[in-house]
């Protein structure tokens, strides 16, 4: 029949007849021309190549294709049509079909919602693009994540401008919905307050609220510099969000205009804060208190907080209600957590008590918390008046350390059933070590909050909201503080927090009709799963998780800040080496100022900093006595990384002032305090004498605990203090020039450029002093070169490119390695 079919041939014949052909001639031509020759003369239509996938509204698309199948009255159908053009509007595509027979052109949109058939084109496009942006924001992602997902799925991505346009739509919608939900929650809270009779003299409902803040950036307790922050006020009765405020310190549009020195274009600026990030929380919460009466007609009379900020003080300063003083209740969880943290810090601190006693504290932290929790529960359930409850709970808390360490004389009957137990009483030992008093200081702080503990409330609800905000911020790993993204995600969190079906509610609020059954079924399933999980938590004891190891304090050389890393290359090392040497050198004024600035010695941060990058006199003896083949690793660790503070060292520091008083009062010698000295010609050497005497002398005091029961002379004769030796022949005390202290004294004299040192041995039973002159020859022959070699060969590599902090062995210089090799060779020869 030919390509055009029967009707097509008739039409063709009619057109030829109109042009002047007669009927006989038309019949003759029809006989001469075969059907396949007609097909060859018809040009092919241009078709476009469609690639990838598209998102479609299935019912609409099928109905549109069915309509195309009957697009003409001449009998052509959908199979005679082909796509000649695709127009994309984000994720919505318009496919233009053209019929090969009748040349009819029709367009079909891939996504037109059934309820929006009569909407204008803008609203038609809106649906799929808006939902896509809303969906990606609801999982804590953004533009890049959306397009990554689309391209991997072989779906054409959307443009940045389209994303921003749709983001603005959902941002306004979520903000509007969040305000409505918070208002609804406030009205419910208001009704409950009236039912319970919590109203003031004017009949205004009084509401107890839970408050806390969160930030867009994790601080790790050190870096509080977030560009955005939010704070929430939650009703204690309903557990619903009543007020949510956001603060932003940055606007990308304004910042770009400032950078280019041009006026900013018209835009909605979200920058509403210019102070410290830490002040955002208190600022928002105070604003919420001040607006509560105007917005909802209620007053917040009690506030439950965590005590981590100055929120309560700022509320009191703001005086939001003229005739009402807001009361603060501390969160029980935060109080107990801080209490446990302080006990653990005490147990880790080597400044207090014997390590065995501190381990006993560390092992009993959880028991101590459990005992306090049980005491809170008992006192809360008792029928005593509130003041008596508070007094009794305070007594119970202060008695806890005595109870758990063996002294049950103060225990109440409900609290202790072991009054007659003869277990070991460790309280006297802990008293003598001072640990008990440090513990009691911690318990005293907790007992001061007994009233809040009896309320037995927490900020868990607002912590749940903060976790939701963190979820929608992508775990706070992405900066959403440039425009309106942070505010939008906070508003989404508010709706999710207050509503069990948030996305269903949002869809109905935005489009004015319900979404498909998929949305509602999914959210109902999630709601049932949450309820089931809550029931399990309430009725079952949570078992301790298996295979979870305790956090180890040991360093991990495979991961973390102390992981192994390669050494610097030679060029980098050379540059750092030269820079270190340059920073080490000081002129006369700098040396003088440094000595004045560090006179507080170990209480001065500068003293610790400057000492650490130099070889100081207290280690001169150990360095000079080191054998050529002995590794320098341990000595480097002691000099650079040791934090040992022994009982003997503490004893010496404690009694230095006693020795100085004796010298000043008995010997009539004026002693001046001093700081850290640096040798100008050898800036790698430093010293801190115990004092200065006149213009030429220094003071060095030793108060050894080993000599506490002896007079100085007896201690020397009994060889308790090896710096001095007793010469029996001459019946006199002489200096042991091979002792480390002698090297220290000569080093101090060399660095300070003074002539003599008054060396003092102090004991509680007396004082012995001897003047030691500067020995230049001793310095030149036995000290100078050894100290220089040790600093440049052993210390400098570790100072410039530390290995110890990378969990690697400290370097030994080649000279030590060669000496060790010689020793090995000698041992082998001797064995032969």
**Cβ of 564: how many Cβ atoms within 10 Å?**
11
* Contact indicator for 748, 617 with CB cutoff of 8 Å: yes
Confidence at residue 410, expressed as pLDDT on a 0 to 100 scale: 80
Q: Determine which helix (DSSP H) or strand (DSSP E) holds 353, and give its type and residue range.
A: none
CA separation for the pair 212, 460 (Å, rounded): 10
CA separation for the pair 92, 86 (Å, rounded): 10
Nearest to 212 by CA among 287, 320, 304: 304
Alpha carbons within 13 angstroms on the beta-carbon side of residue 219 total 13
* Contact indicator for 53, 154 with CB cutoff of 8 Å: yes
* Contact indicator for 292, 300 with CB cutoff of 8 Å: yes
CA separation for the pair 425, 529 (Å, rounded): 51
* Contact indicator for 734, 771 with CB cutoff of 8 Å: no
Q: Determine which helix (DSSP H) or strand (DSSP E) holds 626, and give its type and residue range.
A: none
* Contact indicator for 107, 96 with CB cutoff of 8 Å: yes
DSSP 764-813: TTEEEEEEEE--HHHHHHHTHHHHHHIIIIIIHHHHHS-SGGGT-PPP--
Three-state DSSP state, 259: helix
Angle at 525 between CA 524 and CA 526, to 5 degrees: 90
CA 363 to chain centre: 27
637: CB partners within 8 A, 6+ apart: 804, 810
Q: Where are the beta strands (DSSP E) in 676-751?
A: 677-678, 685-687, 691-693, 697-702, 724-727, 732-735
* Domain parsing of the chain, residue ranges: 163-330+458-526, 334-455, 585-816
Confidence at residue 540, expressed as pLDDT on a 0 to 100 scale: 60
Q: Determine which helix (DSSP H) or strand (DSSP E) holds 109, and give its type and residue range.
A: strand 105-109
Three-state DSSP state, 39: helix
CA separation for the pair 729, 724 (Å, rounded): 15
Confidence at residue 678, expressed as pLDDT on a 0 to 100 scale: 93
Confidence at residue 732, expressed as pLDDT on a 0 to 100 scale: 87
Confidence at residue 132, expressed as pLDDT on a 0 to 100 scale: 94
Confidence at residue 806, expressed as pLDDT on a 0 to 100 scale: 63
Residue 246 phi, psi (nearest 5): -125, 145
Give the length of the chain.
832
- Torsion, Cα 639 640 642 648, to 10 degrees, reads 40
CA separation for the pair 759, 749 (Å, rounded): 12
CA separation for the pair 761, 702 (Å, rounded): 5
CA distances (Å), origin 806, targets 556, 614, 809 = 10, 21, 9
CA separation for the pair 715, 713 (Å, rounded): 5
| pLDDT mean values, one per 10 residues, the chain (832 residues) | 44 42 47 46 60 90 87 83 90 90 89 54 68 93 93 94 92 94 95 93 93 86 83 94 92 84 85 86 92 94 84 85 86 92 88 81 90 91 88 89 84 74 73 78 85 91 93 89 90 94 91 87 89 77 43 41 57 81 89 88 73 90 92 90 70 78 83 90 92 91 86 88 86 89 93 92 88 92 93 91 78 91 86 68
For tokens 């408050």, name the residue: 211
Confidence at residue 791, expressed as pLDDT on a 0 to 100 scale: 93
Residue 619 phi, psi (nearest 5): -105, 0
* Contact indicator for 752, 634 with CB cutoff of 8 Å: no
3.30.360.10, 3.40.1350.10, 3.40.630.10, 3.90.320.10: CATH of 585-816: 3.90.320.10
């Amino acid at each position: 029949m030919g390509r055009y079919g029967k009707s097509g041939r008739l039409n063709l014949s009619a057109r030829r007849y109109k042009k002047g052909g007669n009927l006989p001639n038309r019949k003759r031509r029809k006989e001469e021309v075969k059907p396949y020759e007609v097909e060859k003369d018809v040009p092919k239509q241009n078709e476009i190549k469609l690639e990838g996938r598209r998102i479609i509204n299935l019912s609409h698309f099928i109905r549109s294709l069915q309509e195309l199948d009957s697009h003409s009255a001449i009998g052509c159908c959908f199979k005679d049509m082909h796509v000649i053009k695709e127009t994309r509007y984000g994720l919505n595509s318009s496919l233009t079909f053209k019929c090969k027979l009748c040349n009819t052109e029709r367009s079909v949109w891939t996504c037109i919602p059934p309820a929006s058939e009569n909407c204008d084109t803008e609203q038609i496009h809106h649906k799929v693009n808006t939902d896509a942006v809303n969906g990606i924001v609801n999982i804590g992602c953004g533009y890049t994540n959306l397009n990554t997902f689309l391209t991997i799925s072989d779906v054409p991505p959307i443009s940045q401008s389209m994303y921003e346009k749709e983001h603005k739509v959902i941002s306004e919608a979520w903000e509007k919905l969040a305000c409505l939900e918070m208002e609804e929650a406030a009205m419910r809270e208001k009704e409950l307050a009236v039912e319970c009779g919590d109203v003031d003299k004017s009949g205004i409902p009084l509401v107890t609220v839970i408050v806390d803040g969160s930030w867009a950036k994790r601080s790790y307790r050190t870096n509080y510099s977030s560009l955005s922050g939010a704070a929430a006020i939650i009703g204690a009765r309903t557990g619903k969000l009543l007020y949510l405020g956001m603060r932003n310190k940055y606007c990308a549009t304004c910042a770009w205009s400032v950078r280019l020195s041009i006026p900013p274009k018209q835009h909605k600026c979200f920058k509403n804060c210019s102070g410290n990030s830490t002040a955002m929380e208190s600022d928002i919460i105070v604003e919420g208190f001040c607006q509560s009466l105007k917005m909802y007609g209620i007053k917040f009379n009690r506030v439950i907080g965590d005590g981590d900020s100055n929120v309560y003080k700022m509320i009191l300063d703001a005086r939001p209600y003229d005739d009402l003083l807001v009361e603060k209740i501390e969160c029980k969880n935060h109080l107990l957590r801080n209490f446990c943290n302080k006990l653990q810090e005490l147990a880790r601190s080597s400044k207090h008590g014997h390590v065995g006693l501190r381990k006993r504290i560390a092992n009993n932290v959880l028991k101590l918390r459990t005992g306090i929790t049980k005491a809170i529960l008992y006192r809360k359930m008792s029928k005593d008046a509130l003041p008596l409850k508070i007094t009794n709970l305070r007594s119970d808390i202060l008695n806890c350390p005595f109870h758990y360490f063996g002294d049950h004389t103060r225990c109440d009957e409900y609290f202790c059933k072991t009054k007659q137990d003869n277990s070991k009483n460790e309280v006297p030992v802990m008293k003598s070590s001072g640990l008990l008093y440090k513990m009691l200081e911690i318990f005293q702080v907790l007992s001061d909050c007994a009233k809040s503990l009896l309320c037995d409330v927490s900020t868990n609800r607002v912590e749940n909201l903060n976790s939701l905000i963190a979820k929608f911020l992508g775990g706070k790993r992405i900066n959403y503080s440039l425009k309106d993204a942070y505010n939008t995600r906070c508003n989404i969190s508010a709706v999710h927090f207050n509503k069990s079906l948030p996305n269903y509610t949002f869809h109905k609020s935005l489009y004015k009709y319900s979404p498909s059954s998929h949305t509602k079924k999914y959210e109902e399933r999630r709601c049932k799963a949450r309820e089931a999980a809550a029931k399990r938590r309430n009725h079952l004891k949570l078992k301790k998780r298996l295979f979870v190891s305790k956090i180890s304090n040991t360093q991990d050389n495979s991961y973390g800040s102390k992981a192994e890393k390669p050494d610097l290359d030679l060029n980098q090392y050379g540059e750092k080496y030269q820079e270190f040497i340059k920073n080490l050198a000081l002129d006369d004024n700098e040396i003088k100022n440094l000595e004045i600035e560090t006179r507080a010695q170990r209480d001065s941060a500068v003293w610790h900093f400057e000492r650490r990058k130099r070889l100081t006199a207290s280690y001169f003896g150990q360095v000079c006595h080191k054998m050529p083949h002995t590794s320098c690793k341990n000595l480097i660790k002691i000099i650079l990384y040791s934090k040992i503070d022994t009982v003997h060292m503490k004893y010496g520091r404690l009694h230095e002032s006693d020795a100085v008083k004796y010298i000043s009062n008995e010997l009539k010698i004026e002693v001046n305090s001093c700081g850290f000295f640096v040798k100008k010609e050898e800036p790698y050497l430093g010293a801190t004498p115990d004092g200065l005497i006149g213009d030429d002398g220094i003071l060095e005091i030793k108060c050894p605990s080993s000599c506490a029961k002896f007079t100085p002379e007896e201690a020397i004769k009994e060889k308790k203090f090896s710096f001095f030796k007793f010469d029996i022949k001459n019946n006199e005390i002489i200096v042991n020039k091979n002792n480390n202290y002698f090297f220290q004294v000569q080093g101090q004299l060399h660095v300070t450029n003074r002539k003599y040192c008054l060396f003092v041995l102090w004991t509680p039973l007396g004082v012995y002093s001897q003047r030691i002159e500067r020995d230049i020859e001793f310095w030149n022959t036995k000290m100078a070169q050894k100290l220089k070699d040790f600093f440049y060969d052993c210390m400098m590599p570790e100072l410039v490119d530390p290995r110890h902090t990378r969990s690697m062995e400290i370097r030994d210089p080649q000279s030590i390695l060669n000496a060790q090799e010689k020793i090995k060779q000698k041992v082998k020869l001797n064995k032969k």
